[in-house]
Each structure stands twice: as C-alpha cells, then as structure tokens.
Amino acid sequence: MGVQVNLPSLDFLNGIRKSNRQFAVIGLGRFGRGVCQTLHTLGYEVLGTDIDEKRVAQITADRIVSHAFELDSTDPAALRQAGIFEFETVIVAIGNYLQESIITTLNLKEAGVANVVAKASTEIHGKLLCRVGADRVVYPEFEAGCVLARSLTKPSILDRFELDPDHSIVEVVIPQEFHGRTIAELELRNRYGLNLLAVSCDKKFEINPSPHLRLQKDCLMVVIGCNKDINRLPIQ
C-alpha cells in the first residue's frame, strides 16, 4: 500500500525495531526505483524517500513501495523523524549529487545504521563514500557494462552469483555437447573442476541430481567453481 504521510506524524516509527525484511531507499531515480521495485517484488517492505515530491508521488502511485516520504536526507532530523535510523539496511541511491550523497551516508553511519549501501557515479565518489563509512559501494553503470560484456562473450550463462572475484555459482544452458550424456560420463568435476548443484527442465530444479541423470540440451544447470573453469564450458 503506498501512502504519503507528513513527517511530524511519523514519530511513532521511532523506536520500532525494523526486521531485516525491511529496507529504506533514499533517492528515487532510475536506480533507486529499480531497487524498490525488485525488493517489493521479492516480498520485502520498502520505504522510499526523495527530496522531489513528484518522484515520491510517482512511486506512491506505482505502488512499488510500502511507504514513501518527501524529505531532505542531508538533514539528520528529517531522517530521524522518518524512522530511517531504525532500519538495518539503507540504500543511498543518489548518484549525481555528490555532496548530498556523502552527507546522507555520513548521517546514516553517525546515527548507527548497520548496513549502508551507497551508489557511486565515479571512483573518487566511491572512495569518499567509503571514507564516511559506507558498508558497500556500488557502481551500477560500470557493473552493468561488465555483465553485458560477459553475456555477449558467454551467451549461455543466464545468471551469475559471484562468491569472490575468482569463484561463482552460475546458471547455464546445457550445451549441445552435453546432450544425452550422464553427469558421471561427463566427469564435470575431473574434467572441468566444476560441481553440479542442480539441473532444471520446465522451470523445476532437481537439487543434487543423480550422477546417472542424462542431461538434455536447452535445459539448465547450476554449477559452482572457479571462473576460469566456468569459462571453459562449451558454448551452447
């Protein structure tokens, strides 16, 4: 339910311990809206805020947040009044206003917010965010470019979860070369250094599949391993 409330009426929010199923997003540009929409779709409660009343009205009308407030996040009193300091995770989605982004992050950390994720538009912006205490800095444009490059060079990888810079869990389309062969025959662990976690056909995943399962091309498999080894998988 999207509601817009006057700040003074929000005092009751102070002191309410928010569970980690709740997130606050400051800045409702394309990135901030994307964060709100995805969290909302995943079933989390999201509080969206922006200094721009039109953006607050728009996200309220679109019903992709639980609550939306208009506030200036450089003002600690406004953040406190809105109950933002009670959230465990706050996303600072202000990329283009350096000063506002830094001050907002500083306000949140000084007030003891445990997990502040901040969007940076440049490397120096990112460094400043780290200096004022951001727990995680993201560079969405740069990261989107990396994902695109990977998808262009390795089209069979549908999804990737990076464990660290060298290791990932990936969801890949089963290549033609693996069609009709069993997991045991393929010797994925010996030949590719990869562990198969799941196989799916028709959107149903079989976790820890039997080594005697025959793989079908165009179905999906989820493997864990070193990026170098993942890149050696045949392209579909």
Q: Distance (Å, rounded) from C-alpha 177 to C-alpha 32?
A: 42
Site for ligand ATP in 94-133 (CB under 6 A): 94-97, 100
Least gap, CB of 121 to ligand ATP (angstroms):
7
Least gap, CB of 170 to ligand ATP (angstroms):
27
What is the number of other CB atoms lying within 10 angstroms of the CB of residue 81? 20
Least gap, CB of 26 to ligand ATP (angstroms):
6
Q: Distance (Å, rounded) from C-alpha 38 to C-alpha 2?
A: 16
Closer Cβ to ligand ATP, 71 or 183, answer by number: 71
Closer Cβ to ligand ATP, 98 or 226, answer by number: 98
What is the number of other CB atoms lying within 10 angstroms of the CB of residue 172? 23
Please give the residue whose beta carbon sits closest to ligand ATP in the complex. Answer: 29
195-201 and 89-92 strand pairing: unpaired
Least gap, CB of 161 to ligand ATP (angstroms):
24
Pick the stretch among 6-14, 93-101, 176-184, 191-199 that binds ligand ATP (CB under 6 A): 93-101
Long-range contacts (CB closer than 8 Å, 24 or more residues apart) made by 205-208? none
Q: Do the beta carbons of residue 84 and residue 20 sit within 8 Å?
A: no
Least gap, CB of 107 to ligand ATP (angstroms):
10
Least gap, CB of 166 to ligand ATP (angstroms):
30
For ligand ATP, what does the binding mask look like between residues 63 and 82, x meaning CB under 6 A?
Answer: ---------xxx--------
Binding of residue 22 to ligand ATP (CB under 6 A): no
Site for ligand ATP in 27-66 (CB under 6 A): 27-32, 50-52, 55
Closer Cβ to ligand ATP, 97 or 205, answer by number: 97
Closer Cβ to ligand ATP, 61 or 184, answer by number: 61
Q: Do the beta carbons of residue 85 and residue 109 sit within 8 Å?
A: no
Least gap, CB of 71 to ligand ATP (angstroms):
6
Closer Cβ to ligand ATP, 37 or 156, answer by number: 37
* Interaction site with ligand ATP (CB under 6 A): 26-32, 50-52, 55, 72-74, 93-97, 100
